[in-house]
Structure 1
């Protein structure tokens, strides 16, 4: 796996929505330990600000459901928790992208349609990336063991090289975060810090 460059890479942001990251978010408690300990949001914002002028494509793929959750058929695990707690309902504040990401305006492209764990499923994400000749996928967001892992595996199976930002992702616990970064992601992806990766990206654009 070679170093990613600005011309052939893209950042995929997952789950940066109020129900996860706002202090009163319905599912804040699911990620709070890991997100706070790893200062995930601040690291992510710093990374975005560092590469924002490079032209690197940055995409956010929010998850949203109808009020009846008719998209979910016998959900289990975190999807069952989402339905039970009525999180990520379209049109509700909790489903909205957090203001810190919105502040970048149209520099961050929102690709809608995500209804489950994998950001490629039911969305035009793959088409967006293919049209830009992207080969390297850079993942940031929540939750490490769920949407990050599912999206990373799908990207790998589609032929992309996958990079996971260890300081810009958060699990349900600190143990989970460390376990996935140490043992699971290296099976199909490169785990890297946002600082190191931003240096690699910017040096490729110089």
Structure 2
């Protein structure tokens, strides 16, 4: 893989409430996910290049039944509470079944309660303890969790790459806008096929 330093693949939001057809928030990302091929391309990346990553991490978001963690939430977090998404112990909060075959290579980091995968988790500690220098992001939602996690990672000194075909957003326009205009401000944007070809 033509990346510098030890590298981790970070999987964000691959949960049933987003990706299952009956998921509470499936409609939010459905069109963008279909166009980018986020799930198919991420699985293809894992099939062909998982062994070249020094670490593969998943950071699912979970809330208690009463959403006590969210005090006066706004925006997407308010929506999540109102519609009852990502409740711990419910099927919608579970990791999508398509990732189960890779369970032995994925390290799950619990505790995510908001937009940033570093917040309320031991993600930074895990990356530092494995001498990770480069973080590659895949998942959803591009304009929310991917962006906030990428910005924070850059602030912490990690090199950041967002995979344009392994992420999805609320609209096709939003996906393209972030990949073309926002992510290049603090990281790089690549297609997963370029990673696979480099292995």
Q: Do residues 15 (structure 1) and 6 (structure 2) align?
A: no
Cα distance in structure 2, aligned partners of 1:73 and 1:179: 31
Q: Look up the match of 2:151.
A: 153
TM-score by length of 1: 0.93
Determine which of 88, 97, 100 is the counterpart of 1:99. Answer: 97
Determine which of 114, 134, 139 is the counterpart of 1:136. Answer: 134
1:53 CA displacement: 2.8
Q: Look up the match of 1:4.
A: 3
Determine which of 45, 58, 61 is the counterpart of 1:60. Answer: 58
Q: Look up the match of 2:84.
A: 86
Runs ≥4 residues deviating over 4 A: none
- Find the residue that maps to 1:11 and give its secondary structure: strand
Q: Look up the match of 2:179.
A: 181
User: Are residues 139 and 55 of structure 1, via their aligned partners in 2, closer, same or farther at CA, if it must alter by over 3 Å?
Assistant: closer
Gaps of 5+ in 2: none
- Find the residue that maps to 2:104 and give its secondary structure: helix
1:108 CA displacement: 0.7
Tell me the matched-pair count: 198
TM-score by length of 2: 0.97
User: Are residues 55 and 12 of structure 1, via their aligned partners in 2, closer, same or farther at CA, if it must alter by over 3 Å?
Assistant: closer
1:55 CA displacement: 5.1
Q: Do residues 199 (structure 1) and 193 (structure 2) align?
A: no
Cα distance in structure 2, aligned partners of 1:182 and 1:101: 28
1:164 CA displacement: 0.2
Gaps of 5+ in 1: none
1:38 CA displacement: 1.4
- Give a deviation string over 1:42-64, Cα, whole Å, max 9, x none: 00000111112335311000000
Superposed, 1:118-133 pairs within 5 Å as: 118-133=116-131
1:37 CA displacement: 1.3
Determine which of 109, 112, 118 is the counterpart of 2:110. Answer: 112
